[in-house]
Structures are given as structure tokens and as C-alpha cells.
Amino acid sequence: MEYIYKENAKDAPVFILLHGTGGNEESLVPLAETLNPEYNILSIRGNVNENGMNRFFKRHCEGQYDWDDLEERSEELYAFIISKSEEYHFALKNVVLVGFSNGSNIAIQMILDHPKAFKKAALFAPLFPIDLKVDRDFSDLDVFLSLGKGDPIVSEEESHRVIDLFKERKANVTTTWGNGHSINQDVVLKAKEWLKKIATF
């Protein structure tokens, strides 16, 4: 997988950046640098090509996931992150998952598959269109969810489904609402405030 690793401070936490459809490993770097310029960065490019656009997993159409592919790609991504944590000497407990849209969605799958691995996640414009029956304990997870009023891709009903996914499993959830399917400056500032409150570095 194509990626960027940028070390800004020795032993600092690591942002793992997961872009949206059509993005790449450069897309979320400015966001990470705004959230905390001292954190290190591992930014990964999705290796699925959809009509020339990078994604992290396949879908049949908008909002209809290829669930088998999502499961397979999630495990592939998790293994990649593990390998980079060993190469660059960082612990998963010091990772902050930062995703936008498609990147948020595969982050949710990784968290579900490995509920004890990750402790912090900032997910922008997430969509996870399924009612889950599986139980998980997310009580050690702090998650920031940025959702969009009038989002043409993610309805408010679907946004609330994501909120419930985490709250029902006892995650420490912080939510904010912006407009549309985007990351605006107000949302970024709220994410930065959230990170300051939960930071250990």
C-alpha cells in the first residue's frame, strides 16, 4: 500500500489518516497538522480503484457496500498498520484514527473487528448502513463524529445509526454537525478541542 510516514516528535501519538473516495495519502495531511502539528503521521492510500478514484473497499453503488470485500480489505489494512507500527516503533494505543467518508467507514470496520486495538478515532462524514447484531465493548474508545446536515450521501437517519453504533457499545462519543459531505473549519476546530481534552501527550 502507498503511504506517507512523517515523524514530527519523538514518541508522539500517531495520526493514521484514511482519505475519502478519490483522495490519496496527501489529502488529510493538512487536517492532521491543524489538529496537532506535533503528532506523527501515517497516511495511507486506499488500493481499490473505482473509475480512477482511490477507495479502501469496493461497493456495488452509492451506499451499498460489498461487505465481503470490506471485511477482507479491513483485515489487510489492519495488518498493514501493525507492520508499520513495528517498523516505526509506535503502539496502537497511541494511535488516533482519522477518516473522511470512505476512510471513516473502513475505520469503523477495523474498530468492530479489533475492539481493543484502537483507543481514539475522529471520523468525518461516516456511513455504515447496516443494523449490527454483534456486541462489542467500546468503553475504552473515545470517538469524535462529524456529521452533515443536508449531506447528499449520508442521510441524518444514517448519521444517527453511526452515533448509535458507538453509543450502544459504550464508547465515549462526541458529536458535531456541519453542513453537507465535507470537513469545514468549524468542525476542524471542534475536533481539535476534542483532541485536547482526551490527549495524553
Mean pLDDT of 5-11: 94
Topology classification of domain 3-198: Rossmann fold (3.40.50)
Distance of CA 74 to the CA centre of its chain: 12
The pLDDT of residue 192:
98
Task: State mean pLDDT over 145-156.
Answer: 96
* Domain chopping of the chain, boundaries: 3-198
Active site residues: 101, 151, 181
Whole-angstrom distance, CA of residue 43 vs CA of residue 45: 7
Written as one letter, the residue type at 54 is: N
pLDDT of residue 48: 95
Give which of 97, 116, 114 is closest to 56, Cα–Cα.
Answer: 97
Tens digit of each residue's pLDDT (9 = 90 or more) over 18-33: 999 999 999 999 999 9
Chain mean pLDDT for the chain:
95
Query: In the β-sheet with 95-100, what is the strand arrangement from edge to edge?
Result: 3-6, 40-44, 14-18, 95-100, 120-124, 142-149, 172-179
175-201: pLDDT as tens digits: 999 999 999 999 999 999 999 999 876
